[in-house]
Amino acid sequence: MAEAEVLKNIKSTRARGNTDVATPSTDEPTYCNIHYSKSQRPGSKQPAASNRRSGVTSERVALLLLSVLLAAAVTALGVTLHENTQTKKSLQKLQEEATNLTDETCQRCKNCWEPHGGKLYFFSSVNLTWNESRRQCKSMGGDLVVINSREEQRFLQTRLRGKMEFYEDRFWIGLTDSQKEGEWLWVDNTRLNTSLTFWGDHEPDDWTEEDPDGEDCLRMGEEDLVSWADKSCKSPQKSICEKPEKACG
Ligand SMILES: [Ca+2]
Ligand SMILES: [Ca+2]
């Protein structure tokens, strides 16, 4: 209630019900004013407490909302992680089955392996990372192919021509610069002979758009003789395995 209204109420009560009371001195209204202004003046203590309560309630509501949102986010994250784990497990199982199937049908020397120049070559149609492809080759007694001559490059390229189904359908070979950027090593630990390279246009470019770690493994396909390109080692690709012909007696 405003100050002016309080003063008015006090004066009208005394005039109606109690004539014995002396007429208030001119100081009384001032006293009343002081009384109200110290203890109950509108806009003083009570509204402040009310504001605090209102503030506390708002904070509680905000905290409650944040808790609900946090719980929802944690639940969503948990579901996503679970789904990712399940997907990875399924993929891993499929890859293992594919590898086992390849092992069973291709470990024998006369199946799948193509002889050429004293070596045997296996063209894997399973898309795996560079490391997984290398493991697959090793499980069959070989390794990713090392290219030692122009003639060998030409042979492989001719063979890929009939195996590539689309432009990005490429094959890992046994060359990587994953140990030190720009220093290309074959899987038999020999350095790349810079006079015997078959890089495509603008390659190697260690492109980081697809993978921030860059491109440290080499894949090849059908592009005349210049068919090499560096690629993220994590990218799933087909691959070419090689082993000496004498390994099969
Ligand atoms: Ca690189
Ligand atoms: Ca590249």
Q: What is the pLDDT of residue 31?
A: 41
Q: Tell me the CA–centroid distance for residue 210 and ligand 1, in Å.
A: 13
Give the ligand whose atoms come closest to the C-alpha of residue 231: 2
Q: Tell me the CA–centroid distance for residue 219 and ligand 2, in Å.
A: 9
- Which pLDDT band, with edges at 50, 70 and 90, does 104 fall under? low
Residue-wise pLDDT for 125-160, tens only, equals 999 999 999 999 999 999 999 999 999 999 999 999
Q: What distance in Å separates the CA atoms of residue 20 and residue 38, rounded to the nearest whole number?
A: 29
Q: What distance in Å separates the CA atoms of residue 234 and residue 216, rounded to the nearest whole number?
A: 10
The CATH T-level fold of domain 109-248 is Mannose-Binding Protein A; Chain A (3.10.100)
Q: Tell me the CA–centroid distance for residue 213 and ligand 1, in Å.
A: 8
Q: What distance in Å separates the CA atoms of residue 127 and residue 88, rounded to the nearest whole number?
A: 15
pLDDT at position 29 over 80: no
Output the CA angle 106-96-98, nearest 5 degrees: 45
Give the ligand whose atoms come closest to the C-alpha of residue 180: 1
What's the rounded mean pLDDT across residues 54-64? 83
Q: Tell me the CA–centroid distance for residue 149 and ligand 1, in Å.
A: 23
Whole-number mean pLDDT of the chain?
A: 80
Residue-wise pLDDT for 183-196, tens only, equals 999 999 999 999 99
Q: What is the pLDDT of residue 76?
A: 86
Residue-wise pLDDT for 38-57, tens only, equals 444 444 445 555 566 666 78
Q: What is the largest CA-CA distance in the chain?
A: 135
Q: Which of 230, 247, 113 is nearest to 173 (CA)?
A: 230
Q: What distance in Å separates the CA atoms of residue 215 and residue 237, rounded to the nearest whole number?
A: 13
Highest mean pLDDT among 19-23, 27-31, 105-109, 187-191: 187-191
Q: Tell me the CA–centroid distance for residue 178 and ligand 1, in Å.
A: 6
Highest mean pLDDT among 15-29, 106-120, 163-177: 163-177
Q: Tell me the CA–centroid distance for residue 202 and ligand 2, in Å.
A: 8
What are the extents of the domains in the chain? 109-248
Of residues 246 and 177, more confidence is placed in 177
Give the ligand whose atoms come closest to the C-alpha of residue 130: 1
Q: Tell me the CA–centroid distance for residue 113 and ligand 2, in Å.
A: 29
Q: What is the pLDDT of residue 179?
A: 97
Q: Tell me the CA–centroid distance for residue 158 and ligand 2, in Å.
A: 22
